[in-house]
Every structure is written in structure tokens, then in C-alpha cells.
Amino acid sequence: MAKERRRAVLELLQRPGNTRCADCGAPDPDWASYTLGVFICLSCSGIHRNIPQVSKVKSVRLDAWEEAQVEFMASHGNDAARDKYESKVPPFYYRPTFSDCQLLREQWIRAKYERQEFTHPDKQEPYSAGYREGFLWKRGRDNGQFLSRKFVLTEREGSLKYFNRNDAKEPKAIMKIEHLNATFQPAKIGHPHGLQVTYLKDNSTRNIFVYHEDGKEIVDWFNALRAARFHYLQVAFPGASDADLVPKLSRNYLKEGYMEKTGPKQTEGFRKRWFTMDDRRLMYFKDPLDAFARGEVFIGSRESGYTVLDGLPPSTQGHHWPHGITIVTPERRFLLACETEMEQRAWVEAFRKVVDRPMLPQEYAVEAHFKHKP
């Protein structure tokens, strides 16, 4: 009987909707919440274990199943749970995948099942009200210390501001929603709730690094920023559908890591720098947590004269890492070197994805800014 029950549960995994984790979309889930009626992956099952008042989990393959539990799973399943627990997810709300950080996946699961934010829209006020203020720990630009700073997000003014003192009349910085991006960077920042916010200042990228001790708070901030971007873009592109706008709300970097670079004359020595590929901007920093990039390179499309080559020109001078990359732009060549062949392959793949993509009309304007930079 026990074997038959387990076989019955395994057969339920073949039903449409059950072939991927109900929470992060990972393929071939082999765990289940037998109180919610969903099939989930090992990673998400660990999060479910932390909310035992809502969810109780079992291994589909290893644990014993009772007849009532099998019947419950058969009458529910991932599609039914999605209809129930995700019926009112706002279009701007970030739905994490299996490649996202633990925090995003945990808060998504808690929001769905524990707080039931997507069945009761009144619970969405913290990120959908169009205004949010509160304190975040922000990394100091010069000394690297995290200090508590007041942040104010206002859709009406189209900005995120922060203040160095509670009683300060004027903000230390005003970040326009139009040019804002936010991405979770727990490893880089050294905190599981670490968020990197970037914005443009005089057409150069500026980074700030923040976190909040409470996971819900920082994810609410992240979704409030996405909501503000969504509403800004709805006005800027009145004919666009939600599906067109949602990918533009926030973006993760295509690739980050250390490479070595040489200067424009290609006679200076190679220097180790931290590189970030953000859409078509390749930025390099002395340190991963620097506020400003040392330099930025625009990478356009093949049609506009940009190419990426394996290796370095034979005439390259100076000591450098063994695995070279040459980026050819209409103006000059950029010589880069990676420590390992695996890193070089990953960077070349990231660059080629960008070069193979045709440029959008607004990207020509960005390219023009780069050409006129001193």
C-alpha cells in the first residue's frame, strides 16, 4: 500500500503545472507541501519548513504518504494553488526564479501563503501606495561603514531621495525614477539582504549599497521601486502593454567579475579592475563596492561596428592574465584579460549577446553621449 501511494504521488508530478516548482519554476520538483497541495523543489521546501503553521512538507520519493494526503494533492496541485494564492499579484511585483537569491524566494513564498498578500490587495499597500519612507543601512562612500539613512520614495516627484541627517531639509542625493535600477547583491555587499541601487548622475553611473535587517522591509522597498518605475513607464509609453514594460522595471547584471585592462595607448601596464556589464554599459571599478565607475564603455551592435574577438593583438605589451578579449568599437579597441579560460568564455558570451542584439532608437542617444564624453 505504501508503495502504491508513493507511486500515485509520483504520477501527480506528470500533470500539467506540476512539472515545475510552484514557487520558483525549477524543473522536476520532488518535494511537496501536503497542507497547501503544491509540488516544490528542495530549495523552496527549506523555506516552507520555516512556516510550519502554514506549510508542512514531505519528499515525494522518500517519505511515507497517507491516503488522505495523496487525495489532497490530487484535488489541488500547482495550477489550482496559483489560481488561489497568486490571483492578484500586481504586474510590477517581482516573481523570483530558481536563479534568484534566497531572500527574494523566501519573501515571495511568505507573501503568497503566510501573509496572503495576493488574495488581499489591501496588504500590498507598503509597495503600491506610490510613497514610501523609512530607514535603511547605507554604505559610506569613503569609509565603507554602513550608517542608518532616511530614504523617501515619491512617485509624484518621480524620485528616490536620501538624507544624511534626520532633521536635514535638503536630501544628500535625488535619484530620478527614470534612470533607477535596483538589484539584490548579497555576496558582493556581504549581507543576505544587500541591495545595490544605481542611477545616472551627469550620464555616469552612481552606485549606492543598502540593506535592512528585516527581509520583508527590503523586498518591499525593491517592489516599491519597481512599482514607481512601472507607473513612470506607463506614462512615458502610453501604448505599451504590461508585458512590454515589466522587463524594464529592474535588471540583473549580465556579468560581473575581475578582469585586467590596459589604457587607450595600450602601452601602459595591465591593471586588475572589477567589471560590471549592465545592459550596454561595461563599467569598471577599482573595488566592487565603489560608488563611481573609473570608466564606462558603450557596447553597441554588430551593425554599428562593434565586435568581440578572442585573444589580444600579437603586439600587446606588458604582463597580463593569459586569456585575452578584444572589444572593437568604431572609435578604438579595448584590451581585456581574464585569469581563466572559463571566465574568458563567460565574458565573451555575455559581450556577444549584447553585440548580436540590434540597437533600439533610444540606445543611439546613449551611444552619442559616450562619444562626446571627454
- pLDDT tens digits for 187-245? 999 999 999 999 988 878 899 999 999 999 999 999 999 999 999 999 999 999 999 99
Give 74-88 pLDDT, tens digit per residue.
999 999 999 999 999
Average pLDDT over residues 339-356: 97
Q: Is the pLDDT of residue 372 over 70?
A: no
Give 21-62 pLDDT, tens digit per residue.
999 999 999 999 999 999 999 999 999 999 999 999 999 999
Q: What is the pLDDT of residue 130?
A: 94
Radius of gyration, CA atoms only, the chain = 24
E strands within the chain? 31-33, 38-40, 57-59, 131-139, 146-154, 159-163, 173-176, 181-184, 195-201, 204-211, 255-261, 271-278, 281-285, 295-298, 307-310, 323-328, 333-338
65-74, 127-136, 265-274 — which is least confidently predicted? 265-274
Phi, psi of 310 (to 5 degrees): -70, 140
Q: What is the pLDDT of residue 373?
A: 54
Instruction: Please tell me if the domain spanning 1-121 has the same topology as the one spanning 255-372.
Output: no
The answer regarding whether domain 1-121 maps to CATH 1.10.220.150 reads yes
The answer regarding whether domain 124-245 maps to CATH 2.30.29.30 reads yes
12-16, 52-56, 285-289, 321-325 — which is least confidently predicted? 12-16
What kind of architecture, by CATH, is found in domain 255-372?
Roll (2.30)
Average pLDDT over residues 298-318: 93
Q: Is the pLDDT of residue 355 over 70?
A: yes
pLDDT confidence band for 374 (50 / 70 / 90) = very low
Average pLDDT over the chain, rounded to whole?
Answer: 94
Nearest Cα neighbor of 149 from 159, 160, 158 is 160
Q: Is the pLDDT of residue 267 over 80?
A: no
Give 112-170 pLDDT, tens digit per residue.
999 999 999 999 999 999 999 999 999 998 888 999 999 999 999 999 999 998 888 99
First to last CA, the chain: 77
Sequence spans of domains, the chain: 1-121, 124-245, 255-372
Q: Is the pLDDT of residue 183 over 80?
A: yes
